[in-house]
């Protein structure tokens, strides 16, 4: 399948490498010409274990450009994987998503049928917003069909490739049966685990088929935000219990182990002091919604307890530095 990926940052580049490894033709577009030059000359703008090796195995099926007009018109699937950094008040800055959507609208191929897939973490309701921007940016009278879908990303930096090839689940939010079929075909090798694993990324023991959550666009967008929020809650919760353990003279490590061994709860994300991981950092985690006419608002009832974050937490991600200023 012919795939284009707009934004070759962490998510875009690792997704591109995995899809090309699986046999798809992947064209990556990035507005950062320096980054594209590095990638074209065989360099890597990020460090991710085995990324260089995976790209070497995908040579001939992956290309890099800063010119969307060479990459987008022939793509059957276009992923939007641009950044959505926190703005002034913590709400996501959507200007890169907007410019990516405009560029897609201007570069759809004549007579083409394309699924535009949002992989960036975007506020709930962004699907129809992106749809309207793509539509408004199309040339007048242009005969091209497209549909906007949501495929939220759950990878962790440092394990991005195995998280993509061997995910806990794949979430596909689509507006129609035709786009669902296209995306299920794209992900078929991952969903059914029919590919030969790269020698350096073996399939985990006992890992077989992948759970597919096939749903509507809005539900897919909410799944991503709700999953981030739940992880943030778990971190905040164990920090609250840690504060209580200090006061009553209990051992928080034993308490966390005792809680986490309950299979309904699980032990992951119950480490005291883990202030945030990836984009699900506890203090800044909010539920953001996009409402016509493009007003972003915050779910008023959701706010993890800020005081549960210790001043000297363990920084698990480069993104946390921005959020915590420590
Ligand atoms: N990094 C993670 O661990 C992670 C995990 C899950 C979800 N996400 C989400 O995925 C999205 C992407 O994250 P990332 O870490 O890859 O971002 P990033 O900042 O590393 O990369 C974004 C890339 O997009 C490019 N770009 C911006 N506007 C563009 C345009 N109009 N056309 C072409 N290229 C453009 C930038 O030059 C940059 O290279 C974000 O919404 C993020 O929240 C990230």
Query: Per the structure, how many domains does the chain have?
Result: 2
Instruction: Check residue 105 and report its DSSP letter.
Output: H
Q: Same domain, yes or no, for 172 and 85?
A: yes
Contacts of 103 (CB under 8 A, 6+ apart): 6, 29, 68, 72, 137
Helix (H) or strand (E) holding 323: helix 318-324
Q: Same domain, yes or no, for 250 and 182?
A: no
Residue bearing the CA closest to ligand 1, atom 44 = 11
Query: Does the predicted TM-score (pTM) go above 0.85?
Result: yes
Residue at which a domain ends, from 151, 181, 215: 215
Predicted confidence at residue 285, as pLDDT, reads 45
Residue (of 269, 79, 88, 307) closest to 179 by Cα position: 79
Which residue numbers in the chain have pLDDT < 50?
275-285, 291-294, 299-326
Q: Same domain, yes or no, for 60 and 120?
A: yes
Chain Cα centroid distance, residue 93: 15
Report the separation in Å between the CA atom of 109 and the middle of ligand 1, taken as the mean of its atom positions. 24
103 CA: nearest ligand 1 atom: 31
- Residue 35 backbone zone (phi > 0: left; psi -120 to 50: alpha; other: beta): alpha
Residue at which a domain ends, from 215, 248, 264: 215
Predicted confidence at residue 274, as pLDDT, reads 53
Q: Same domain, yes or no, for 69 and 28?
A: yes
Report the separation in Å between the CA atom of 248 and the middle of ligand 1, taken as the mean of its atom positions. 44
Q: Is 99 exposed, middle or buried (0-12, 13-18, 19+ CB in 10 A)?
A: middle
Residue from 15, 29, 65, 96 to probe ligand 1 pocket by mutation (most atoms less than 8 Å from CB): 96
Predicted confidence at residue 141, as pLDDT, reads 84
Q: Is the beta carbon of 79 within 6 A of some atom in ligand 1?
A: no
Q: What are the counts of helices (DSSP H) followed by strands (DSSP E) for the chain?
A: 12, 10
Predicted confidence at residue 303, as pLDDT, reads 47
Predicted confidence at residue 140, as pLDDT, reads 86
Predicted confidence at residue 85, as pLDDT, reads 94
7 CA: nearest ligand 1 atom: 24
Domain at 134, CATH number:
3.40.50.720
CA atoms within 13 Å, Cβ hemisphere of 255:
17
Q: Same domain, yes or no, for 65 and 202?
A: yes
Report the separation in Å between the CA atom of 259 and the middle of ligand 1, taken as the mean of its atom positions. 36
Residue bearing the CA closest to ligand 1, atom 21 = 9
- Tokens linked to 184: 């299920």
Residue bearing the CA closest to ligand 1, atom 19 = 83
Residue (of 13, 79, 16) closest to 46 by Cα position: 13
Q: Same domain, yes or no, for 78 and 29?
A: yes
Q: Same domain, yes or no, for 115 and 259?
A: no
CA 163 – CA 14 distance, rounded (Å): 10
Residue from 4, 5, 6, 9 to probe ligand 1 pocket by mutation (most atoms less than 8 Å from CB): 9
Predicted confidence at residue 284, as pLDDT, reads 43
Q: Give per-residue pLDDT as tens, 163-174.
A: 999 999 999 999
């Amino acid at each position: 399948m012919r795939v284009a990926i707009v934004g070759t940052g962490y998510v875009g580049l690792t997704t591109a490498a995995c899809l090309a490894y699986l046999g798809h033709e992947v064209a990556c577009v990035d507005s950062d010409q320096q980054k594209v030059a590095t990638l074209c000359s065989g360099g890597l703008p990020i460090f991710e274990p085995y990324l260089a090796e995976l790209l070497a195995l995908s040579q001939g099926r992956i290309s890099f450009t800063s010119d969307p007009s060479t990459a987008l018109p022939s793509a059957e699937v276009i992923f939007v994987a641009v950044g959505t950094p926190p703005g002034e008040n913590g709400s996501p800055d959507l200007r890169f998503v907007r410019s990516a959507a405009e560029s897609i609208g201007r570069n759809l191929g004549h007579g083409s049928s394309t699924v535009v897939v949002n992989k960036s973490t975007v506020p709930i309701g962004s699907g129809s917003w992106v749809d309207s921007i793509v539509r408004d940016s199309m040339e007048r009278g242009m005969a091209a069909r497209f549909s906007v879908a949501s495929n939220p990303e759950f990878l962790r930096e440092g394990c991005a490739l195995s998280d993509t090839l061997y995910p806990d689940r794949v979430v596909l939010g689509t507006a129609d049966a035709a786009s669902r079929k296209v995306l299920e075909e794209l992900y078929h090798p991952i969903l059914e685990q029919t590919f030969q694993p790269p020698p350096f990324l073996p399939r985990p023991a006992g890992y077989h088929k992948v759970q597919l959550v096939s749903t509507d666009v809005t539900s897919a967008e909410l799944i991503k935000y709700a999953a981030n929020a739940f992880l943030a809650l778990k971190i905040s919760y164990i920090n609250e219990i840690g504060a209580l353990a200090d006061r009553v003279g209990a051992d928080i490590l034993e308490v966390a182990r005792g809680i986490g061994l309950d299979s309904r709860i699980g032990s992951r994300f119950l480490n005291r002091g883990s202030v945030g991981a990836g984009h699900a950092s506890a203090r800044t985690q909010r539920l953001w919604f996009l409402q016509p006419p493009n007003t972003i608002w915050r779910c008023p009832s959701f706010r993890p307890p800020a005081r549960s974050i210790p001043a000297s937490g363990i920084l698990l991600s480069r993104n946390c530095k921005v959020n915590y200023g420590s």
